Amino acid sequence: MAYTLPELGYAYDALEPHFDAQTMEIHHSKHHQAYVNNANAVLENSPELQELAGGCPGKLLAHLHDVAPEKRPALRNNVGGHLNHSLFWKSLKKGTTLQGALKDAIERDFGSVENFKAEFEKAAATRFGSGWAWLVLENGKLAVVSTANQDNPIMGKEFAGCSGTPIFGLDVWEHAYYLKFQNRRPDYIKEFWNVINWDFANERFEKALAEVLLCHCDSDGCGGDNSSSPFSCFFR
């Protein structure tokens, strides 16, 4: 079993002028590829982790407490990086509109879409150093959280400092914006609203709500594990 770099599903310049083609190309073909390579290097010599993972990166990250402490850092950074970026690419598309069940739930849990955006922007802007801002669903309620480095809310509070099923996340590492925005992270965050794929987000929200984000993905070497314990699989 080895992870592979997923296709973007669109051209590197598809998100212009909001997210630039050069950043997208380097981010996907160099940064994400490096996470994939390094994740594979860790798993190659760890048959016990391959078994635990069942081929699915989400399953591994959701069970970090079962991973030997000395192997955790490399897994968090690289399997986390692979998972986070795989979700990120799918969460980007120009020209979609927030509507449906997700819009209703955002208005219910944040008061208004504007309030939600302000809270998300603040989480993304104030994450010190490198990390991610997330919209998560937990116990039927939406919340905004952020994580450091390549941590993900599915790692749970013990590791990520927060929990929940990610609906979408925004990469706020400098490599995600520095070529176009330099030090202006808030401008990059604002542009995210022009490229967020609300259709995909709404789809994930409805699945998360129905608790059907089980591990039975058939991509990326997962092998169709029909685990009975719910956790968020990013490849469906």
Interatomic CA distance for residues 116 and 84, integer angstroms: 21
Interatomic CA distance for residues 21 and 23, integer angstroms: 6
Q: Give whichever of 28 and 207 is closer to Mn ion, judged by the CB atom.
A: 28
Piece of the chain touching Mn ion by CB under 5 A; list 9-17, 95-103, 126-134, 174-182: 174-182
Minimum CB separation from Mn ion for residue 160, in Å?
16
Query: Considering CB under 5 A, how many residues would be counted as binding Mn ion?
Result: 3
Q: Give whichever of 80 and 164 is closer to Mn ion, judged by the CB atom.
A: 80
Piece of the chain touching Mn ion by CB under 5 A; list 8-16, 151-159, 175-183, 197-205: 175-183
Burial of 151 (0-12, 13-18, 19+ CB in 10 A): buried
Piece of the chain touching Mn ion by CB under 5 A; list 146-154, 170-178, 181-189, 225-233: 170-178
Piece of the chain touching Mn ion by CB under 5 A; list 15-23, 67-75, 105-113, 164-172: 164-172
Yes or no: say if 225 and 208 are a contact pair by the CB < 8 Å rule. Answer: no
Q: Give whichever of 171 and 220 is closer to Mn ion, judged by the CB atom.
A: 171
DSSP track, 20-69: -HHHHHHIIIIIIHHHHHHHHHHHHT-HHHHHHHTT-HHHHHHTGGGS-G
Q: Give whichever of 151 and 171 is closer to Mn ion, judged by the CB atom.
A: 171
Residue 151 contacts Mn ion per CB under 5 A:
no
Report which residue's Cβ sits closest to Mn ion: 171
**What's the sign of the alpha-carbon dihedral 43, 46, 51, 57?**
negative
Interatomic CA distance for residues 207 and 57, integer angstroms: 19
Minimum CB separation from Mn ion for residue 137, in Å?
23
Q: Which residues contact 21 (CB under 8 A, 6 or more apart)?
A: 11, 12, 13
- Matching residue, tokens 């609203």: 193
Minimum CB separation from Mn ion for residue 173, in Å?
5
Minimum CB separation from Mn ion for residue 97, in Å?
26
Residue 171 contacts Mn ion per CB under 5 A:
yes
Q: Give residues in contact with Mn ion (CB under 5 A).
A: 171, 173, 176
